[in-house]
Chain A
Amino acid sequence: MSTLAHVFEAAGLSTIVLASMKEVAEKMAPPRTLYCEFPLGRPLGLPGDAEFQTDVLTRAFALLDASEPILETHPEVIESEEAPMSCSIPPRFDASLPPAVDEAQGLRAAYDRAVEARGVTAVGRSIDADTVADALGVLDQWANGASWQEVALPDQNILAVGHDIRAYYTEAALELASGPTPGGRAVEAWFWEETEAGKTMMAARGALKEQEAPFPFWFYLAPAHR
């Protein structure tokens, strides 16, 4: 972002950066920066809160009055939530299936409602919703000792498949959950700590590491701090 700010300013555009990492913004010194300590991935702070978002924009546009480079900090800090969101998972339906496969199939109705409501889905980088359960079946086999080179995913781009599985789950979860808007990382915590898919993917990640699969194949399947 700061790189683009410098490029755009040189082209004759006035820029404002909403920065999420203060040290990076300080070192790169774009002309106008509003540093916001908000959850990463939520640069305007609060989803669904137009008043708060407008306040951020008002403070950002005010930086245009400065006649020299300026970095200001938004006075409010919003922390991510590290505790899992409250979202109940459908009960086991077919005990003959691996738990994650059964679970993914059980979430399908909620996922379909989410897509209907939003009109768009992030699932589809490499697999579609029909294939999510199959992909989890392969991850389950890896987690239980199968070779990642012998038992293949529906698509060879492991990271894309991982994104599609997580997107399927989070879109379904946001449709199922009631109550307050989940904070940053609350859905992430739910996925990794409470779902069979999350546990299976983490176990498969460990198995890939054990099998000495290339580092990027497994490392980026999960957030680095997990």
Chain B
Amino acid sequence: MLRFVYRANGSQVMAEATGGDAAMRAFGATQEVPVFDDPAFTALGKPLSEARVAIVTSAALHRPDQERYATGDTGFRALERADRNLVMGHWSPNFDHTGFQIDLNVVYPIDRLEELAASGVIGDVAPRHFAFAGNQPDTVSEVRLDTGPACANELLADAVDVVLLTPV
């Protein structure tokens, strides 16, 4: 599929998607995914400038002192607002891990949230953020029924209003 691509030098060209990312996206498009009947929709009942925001990522981030992620780990790790020395424990070799090494905000935009809170765009940055491992069993039943709801309870305990979900 041809689409517009913005080059680093600012130019814009039409290009075909090729390479490792295109291969992974083509693979992803063929995967069976869980379908949710009658999904919930929670409107934000207040202005964004009064909302508390948390990040939840599937990048398997953790502090060096926290338990590492096993392959197929369905649990989550809590990251403190001030944590910056984080490690990406994801098991897939099929995506870039180096962007995170260069700047963790490209996966976990915690500094950007602090700036948006300081400038009043969002109300507040949550005291804790959470990480799961993205490579889950196909049914994701543990995340749906156990660890996902448990993480939601942690977020609600911190009075979070908005969750930004970032994949890798």
Decide whether A and B are members of one complex.
yes
Which residues of A are in contact with B by a Cβ distance under 8 Å? 1-24, 27-31, 37, 39-48, 50, 53-54, 56-58, 60-61, 64, 67-69, 76-80, 82, 118-122, 124-125, 159, 162-163, 166-167, 170-171, 174, 180-188, 220-226
Task: Out of B15, B64, B164, name the residue touching A16 (CB < 8 Å).
Answer: B164
Interface residues in B138-164 by Cβ distance below 8 A to A read 140, 143-144, 148-149, 151-153, 155-156, 160-164
- Within the complex, the shortest CB–CB distance from A200 to chain B, in Å, comes to 16
Closest CB-CB distance, B144 to chain A, in whole Å? Answer: 6
Flag whether B122 is at the interface (Cβ < 8 A): yes
Complex CA distance for A183 and B43, rounded to whole angstroms: 37
Q: Which 8 A-B pairs have the closest CB atoms?
A: A41-B96, A11-B152, A7-B148, A47-B103, A41-B95, A23-B29, A40-B95, A42-B99
Q: Which residues of A contact B33 (CB under 8 A)?
A: 2, 24, 27-28
Return the chain B residue nearest A12 by Cβ. Answer: B42
Given A40-B21, A64-B44, A77-B4, are A16 and B165 neighbors across the interface (CB < 8 Å)? yes
Bound CA span A48–B95, Å: 18
Q: Which B residues touch A79, using CB under 8 A?
A: 5, 15, 17, 19, 21
A44, B104: Cα distance in complex, Å: 10
- For window 38-58 of chain B, which residues contact chain A by CB distance below 8 Å? 39-44, 48, 51, 56, 58
| Interface positions of B from 66 to 93, Cβ below 8 Å from A | 68, 71, 85-89, 91-93
> How far apart are the CA atoms of A42 and B100 in the complex, in Å?
7
User: Which residues from chain B contact A20 at a C-beta distance below 8 Å?
Assistant: 25, 167-168
* Bound form: Cα–Cα A124–B56 in Å: 24
Task: Tell me whether A13 and B42 are in contact in the complex, defined as CB-CB below 8 angstroms, given that A8-B152, A57-B112 are known contacts.
Answer: yes
Complex Cα distance A67/B45, Å? 11
A-B contact pairs, 16 of them (CB 8 A): A5-B163, A5-B165, A13-B155, A14-B161, A17-B167, A20-B25, A21-B29, A22-B29, A48-B102, A57-B109, A69-B41, A163-B93, A184-B98, A187-B96, A220-B91, A224-B27
Contact status of A41 and B93, CB under 8 A, knowing A12-B42, A57-B112, A119-B85 = no
Q: Are A184 and B152 in contact (CB under 8 A)?
A: no
**List of A residues within 8 angstroms of B132 by Cβ:** 4
Name which of A13, A21, A162, A183 has the most chain B CB atoms within 10 A of its CB: A13
Knowing A41-B99, A80-B20, A223-B20, say if A57 contacts B164 (CB, 8 Å).
Answer: yes
CA distance A16 to B51 in the complex (A): 14
The residue of chain B having its C-beta at the shortest distance from the C-beta of A32 within the complex is B41
Q: Report the Cα distance A121→B89, complex, angstroms.
A: 11
Per the bound structure, the CA–CA distance linking A118 and B162 in Å amounts to: 30
Closest Cβ–Cβ distance, residue A31 to chain B (whole Å) = 5
Q: For residue B94, which residues in chain A have a CB less than 8 angstroms away from its CB? A: 40, 223-225
Check if B115 sits within 8 Å of A50, measured CB to CB. Answer: yes
> In the bound complex, what is the Cα–Cα distance between A4 and B155 (angstroms)?
12
B31 CB within 8 Å of chain A: yes
Cβ A41 vs Cβ B163 within 8 A: no
With CB as the reference atom, state the residue of chain B lying closest to A159.
B91
A residues within 8 A CB of B85?
A: 118-120
**Chain B residue nearest in CB terms to A226:** B20
B87 to chain A, nearest CB (A): 5
Q: Which of B21, B87, B122, B151 has the most CB of A within 10 A?
A: B21
Contact with A along B105-138 (1 / 0, CB 8 A): 1110101110110000110000000001010100
The interface residues of chain B lying within 8 Å CB-to-CB of A8 are 56, 148, 151-152, 155, 163
B116 and A1 contact, CB distance less than 8 A: no
Residues of B within 8 A of A182 (CB): 98, 102
CA distance A9 to B102 in the complex (A): 32
